[in-house]
Amino acid sequence: MRSGGQAWRELGPAGGVLMIRPWPPIFTLVTVPNPRARMPVTIKLSRKFYEKLGEDLANELVDWFNKVDATYRGDLREVNELNFARFDAKLEQRLVELDAKWGSKWSALDAKLEQRVAQLHADLQTGLATLKGELLAEIGKLRGETTAAIARAQSTTVKWMFRFWAPTAAGIVATAVGVAALLLHR
């Protein structure tokens, strides 16, 4: 006996349980889903039950239980299919809404990213132009310094050449004058 004056009796490998409440007399068949069992549950009643009700009435009761079970299974299957269809429709609707929501967010993010890339490109162009100007100014400055250094080097070289060749040229002229004077004196 269970609470509430209910008696439970296992019905075997099919997984069914027959619940009988003494007063008012109610018979309920509870089945446990078995994926391998595709046939209706066959109820086996005790020998005393057959003796009290008789073979015909007990078999009729078993048939009635099986018909009720099949009806409930069919009804349950239909309700499950309807619930799944509603769930599927809601899920599809929510996915469409989510897709639209994320689509707009991705579009906004894409627009921001394009704007930032354009700003970065403009900043990079400005920076490169400034750097180019600074490099050209520095190159011009270096060219000026190099030209001035070359001019100084040339001036110094000419001075040293003049200082070196002037006495040499004076010595050659003096020698030539001396040779001419000797030749003339003779």
* Residue 113 maps to a domain: no
* Residue 61 maps to a domain: yes
* Residue 58 maps to a domain: yes
* Residue 89 maps to a domain: no
The model's pTM: 0.36
- Please report, in tens digits, the pLDDT of each residue of the chain (186 residues total): 344 444 444 444 444 444 444 444 444 444 555 545 444 444 555 677 777 778 788 778 878 888 888 888 888 999 999 999 999 999 999 999 998 888 888 898 999 999 999 999 999 999 999 999 999 999 999 999 999 999 999 999 988 888 888 888 888 999 999 998 888 887
Total number of domains constituting the chain: 1
* Residue 90 maps to a domain: no
Kindly list the strands in the beta sheet with 26-31, ordered across the sheet, starting from the edge strand earlier in the chain: 7-10, 16-21, 26-31
* Residue 121 maps to a domain: no
Longest C-alpha distance within the chain, in Å?
183
Q: Which structural domain range is residue 57 located in?
A: 7-75
* Residue 57 maps to a domain: yes
- Do the beta carbons of residue 43 and residue 11 sit within 8 Å? yes
* Per-residue model confidence (pLDDT) at position 20: 45
Q: Which single residue is written with the structure tokens 């970065």?
A: 120
